[in-house]
Structure 1
Amino acid sequence: MSWHLDNIYKRNAEFPYTFYIPSKQVIDILSIGDIVKLRFVGETENDDLTGERMWVKITERNGENFKGILTNEAYDLKDLEIGQEVLFKAENICDTEYKDPASSEWDYYFDTKVVVSNDVLNKREFNFMLRDSPNGEHDSGWTILSGYEDDEFVNNPDNLQCVSIGVILNIDNSILKFIDESPMCAYERNDKGDFYRIEDYDWDGYLNG
């Protein structure tokens, strides 16, 4: 067999704010006839980076153990076909057709956007955050920098991206304690690795620069 089922709890532990897992309330109500989504991962390194998410119809359930029938056609995993029987566990279920009571929290992680420099994404490190007035429904107003960028780098729009806030929380979730601070605030990391608010930030220079 050239594939295996991903353990979504382990995947969520790696990316806790961007890899959704169904809540226990949803898993508990699953029964025969329900449709669930599983992540089938190829055995090669490249396949493991993506995997294929496909729907499976539950035909049997025994506690955390399930049996089902594949209802999707695989794109790259050639030894999977529609109607094939699949054995799986609750730890393999990455989505269901039920509305999840915990979905509003996940919506925040996915829908709330921040501007981030490419240097942050490359280094997986950030040391400066500034919140301006939001521009649009999902814009948080936050701009996040590694602290190593120079003015030329930051002033080039190609060096900035708009990403979900969950991407940043995966790097450091300590910012949750001040992420709802009102606009026109700035924070940077001190020598101990903790963020503190910059009380004398040069807002005139920022707004008129």
Structure 2
Amino acid sequence: MFRFKKKAKKFYVPGDKIIRLVDSEEGCIASDRITVDGCKVGFMYREEPYQNGPDSGWRFLADDEDEEYMNKSENHSVFQVNTICNYDNDIIPFLSSPPGTAYIRDEEGKLVLDEEWEEPKD
């Protein structure tokens, strides 16, 4: 029987460079466009957290991922929110926003409330 070893991801910010920026142990989902390719967070939204674990409800994307990319589970992973803050600390002021909130980068490169976003339905 053959076993194929999954190729390990090479993260843009090495684990030994992650520092404590926020006081949270909660998790989130982030795209490899951020954690592997080093893009800034271009879109972030907060869903109702999963009840079975320490989920914050936050989802972080570069905002150039298409549906095909997102449908491949290997293109995103679960991290502590603090880890993603080390990739892009612009997100920190928005982390206390309630579920149902989303932010997007504007033309000036600032994260702003995305008033047109609607939380996905299951």
TM-score, normalised relative to structure 1: 0.46
The CA deviation string for residues 15-56 of structure 1, in whole angstroms up to 9 with x for no partner, is 3337xxxxxxxxxxxxxxxxxxxxxxxxxxxxxxxxxxxxxx
Matched with 2:50 is 135
For structure 1, which runs of at least 5 residues remain unmatched after alignment? 1-13, 19-103
Letter of the structure 2 residue corresponding to residue 112 of structure 1? E
Q: How many residues align?
A: 104
Counterpart check, 1:17 vs 2:20: yes
Aligned counterparts of 2:37 and 2:109: Cα–Cα separation in 1 = 16
The structure showing larger relative contact order (alpha-carbon pairs under 8 Å, at least 6 residues apart) is 2
Aligned counterparts of 1:177 and 1:161: Cα–Cα separation in 2 = 23
The structure number with the bigger radius of gyration is 1
Aligned counterparts of 1:148 and 1:200: Cα–Cα separation in 2 = 17
Letter of the structure 2 residue corresponding to residue 15 of structure 1? I
Counterpart check, 1:163 vs 2:79: yes
Any conservation in 1 of the 2:44–2:58 contact (CA below 8 Å)?
Answer: yes
Aligned counterparts of 2:67 and 2:36: Cα–Cα separation in 1 = 18
Flag the structure with higher helix content. 1
Letter of the structure 1 residue corresponding to residue 32 of structure 2? N
Shift of 1:129: 0.4
Q: How does 1:141-152 map to 2 (within 5 A)?
A: 141-152=57-68
Q: 1:201 aligns with which of 97, 117, 120?
A: 117
Q: How does 1:70-89 map to 2 (within 5 A)?
A: none
Aligned counterparts of 2:42 and 2:20: Cα–Cα separation in 1 = 19
Shift of 1:199: 0.9
Flag the structure with higher strand content. 1
What SS class does the counterpart of residue 68 from structure 2 fall into? helix
Identity of aligned residues (%): 26
Following superposition, which runs of at least 4 residues in structure 1 exceed 2 angstroms of deviation? Answer: 14-18
Matched with 1:191 is 107
Calculate the aligned-residue CA RMSD, in Å: 2.0
Letter of the structure 2 residue corresponding to residue 115 of structure 1? I
Letter of the structure 2 residue corresponding to residue 144 of structure 1? F
The CA deviation string for residues 110-155 of structure 1, in whole angstroms up to 9 with x for no partner, is x211101112112222201011000034100011111121101112
Any conservation in 1 of the 2:35–2:87 contact (CA below 8 Å)?
Answer: no
What SS class does the counterpart of residue 207 from structure 1 fall into? coil
Q: How does 1:11-160 map to 2 (within 5 A)?
A: 14-17=17-20, 105=23, 108=24, 111-125=25-39, 126-136=41-51, 137-160=53-76
Aligned counterparts of 1:148 and 1:16: Cα–Cα separation in 2 = 27
